[in-house]
Amino acid sequence: MQLYYGKEVKNYNNLRKFPKATRSSFSPNLPGATTIDFSLNDVLREYPGVNEADYRNPAIAIRHQDGSTVTNFKFDSYVINEGKPELSELPSTYETDEYQSETLSIVLKDDFSKLSLTLNYTIFESLPVITRSVKVENTGESAVQIEKIASLSLDFPAQDFEFTKIIKNSFFMAIFIA
C-alpha cells in the first residue's frame, strides 16, 4: 500500500493513516471478518488482482486451465540488492558509475496456482526516481494465461488531477493541480 509519491519527506507525522473506515455498502467483507469497518475496496492497494473483493482495475489478471481467474498473492519474502535488475528486450533505465541504485524486491506467492510474483522497486542514489518492474514465475505444473500484467497500480486519495495520455507511447502521466 502506498501512502505517498512525491518530493522527499524530511519528517513524517503519521497523519495519513490507512485503511480508512469509510465503507461503501457494496464493499464486501473479508473472509472471517468480525466487523464491517475494513474492505480491500477501500485500501490504496499496491498490486491488486482479480476477484479479490476490490472493484478497481487489477494490475494482474491470470486465467487458469479450468477457466477461473482467481488469484490470492500473499507476501512471502523480500530482499534488498545493490543495482537494478536487467530487463532484457524491454526499454528501461540502467545503472552507471554516476547513477548508482538499490532495488527492493518483494516476493508474493499464490499457493493455489503455484505462481510467484516479484515486485521490484529501484531507487537511484542521485536521482528522484523510483522504477518498477514485475516478474511472474510459474512453479506449478499447470499452464496459465497472463491476460493482463502491469508494473504499477497506483491509487491516489480523491483529489483534482489532470491526466494526459500520449498515445504514441501509450504512456500515462498525472499532473497534480494545486
Q: Which residue has the higher pLDDT, 10 or 175?
A: 10
Beta-carbon count within 10 A of 29 CB:
15
- Per-chain mean pLDDT for the chain: 77
Contacts of 161 (CB under 8 A, 6+ apart): 174, 175, 176, 177
Question: What is d(CA 164, CA 143) in angstroms, rounded to the nearest whole number?
Answer: 37
Task: Yes or no: say if 109 and 118 are a contact pair by the CB < 8 Å rule.
Answer: no
Residues above pLDDT 70, as percent of the chain: 66
- Evaluate whether residue 98 is within a structural domain: yes
- Evaluate whether residue 126 is within a structural domain: yes
- Evaluate whether residue 108 is within a structural domain: yes
Q: Is 69 exposed, middle or buried (0-12, 13-18, 19+ CB in 10 A)?
A: middle
Task: Yes or no: say if 117 and 133 are a contact pair by the CB < 8 Å rule.
Answer: no
- Evaluate whether residue 147 is within a structural domain: yes
- Evaluate whether residue 95 is within a structural domain: yes
Question: What is d(CA 25, CA 13) in angstroms, rounded to the nearest whole number?
Answer: 31
Domain span including residue 81: 57-176
| Whole-structure pTM value | 0.75
What would the mean pLDDT of 26-46 be, rounded to a whole number? 70
- Evaluate whether residue 143 is within a structural domain: yes
Q: Which residue has the higher pLDDT, 94 or 103?
A: 103
User: Is the model's pLDDT at 15 over the cut of 70?
Assistant: no
For the chain, the domain total comes to 1
Task: Yes or no: say if 105 and 133 are a contact pair by the CB < 8 Å rule.
Answer: no
